Amino acid sequence: MSNTSRFRQTILLFIITLNLISTWLHYIDNALFLSRYPGPAWFTSVGVISTVIVMTPIGLLGYWFYIKGKFWSAYFLLALYSITSISSPVHYLFPILAPMSLKMHSLIWLDGVMGLLLIGFLLWSSFVLKEWRSTLATN
């Protein structure tokens, strides 16, 4: 494995770590203060926490596939995982019934930006670097 591959793996690990932190912070806050977050009536605290518990291993598995050079599986799982972050600003599509705090706005946007950062990495890896070609060359 080259130093550049290891460097890209480190970058991705950093991005996923930021995503995990931002998502867990936002989702826990969302579950604790569910009535203050705008969203559909069917959202529950248990559902919010269950989502982050289910999605976290998907992101980690995506990273594992990435370091193993199974890029298409990694891209799919990491893109799926990024939905937990990039969907956070969807709160703003629902009527705001109670004023949201600066903390709530910050967590929503931090999570959304971290999701975009992950998607940016995936686009860079797949369309610019075309890392998936390295697995074609070895097969």
* pLDDT tens track for 82-125: 999 999 999 999 998 888 999 999 999 999 999 999 999 999 99
| Three-state secondary structure call for residue 30 | helix
Please, which pLDDT band fits residue 69 given cuts at 50, 70 and 90?
Answer: very high
Summarize pLDDT for 126-138 with one digit per residue, the tens. 998 888 887 654 5
Confidence of residue 139 (pLDDT cuts 50, 70, 90): very low
Q: Check pLDDT > 90 for residue 41.
A: no
The 8-class DSSP code of residue 57 comes to H
Whether the CB-CB separation of 66 and 78 falls below 8 Å is answered with yes
Helix (H) or strand (E) holding 108: helix 102-123
Full-prediction pTM beyond 0.85? yes
Burial class (CB within 10 angstroms; exposed 0-12, middle 13-18, buried 19+) of 139:
exposed
Distances (CA, A) of 92 to 18, 52, 95, 105: 22, 20, 7, 10
Report how far residue 47's alpha carbon sits from residue 44's, in angstroms, rounded to the nearest whole number: 5
Cβ atoms within 10 A of the Cβ of 88, count?
24
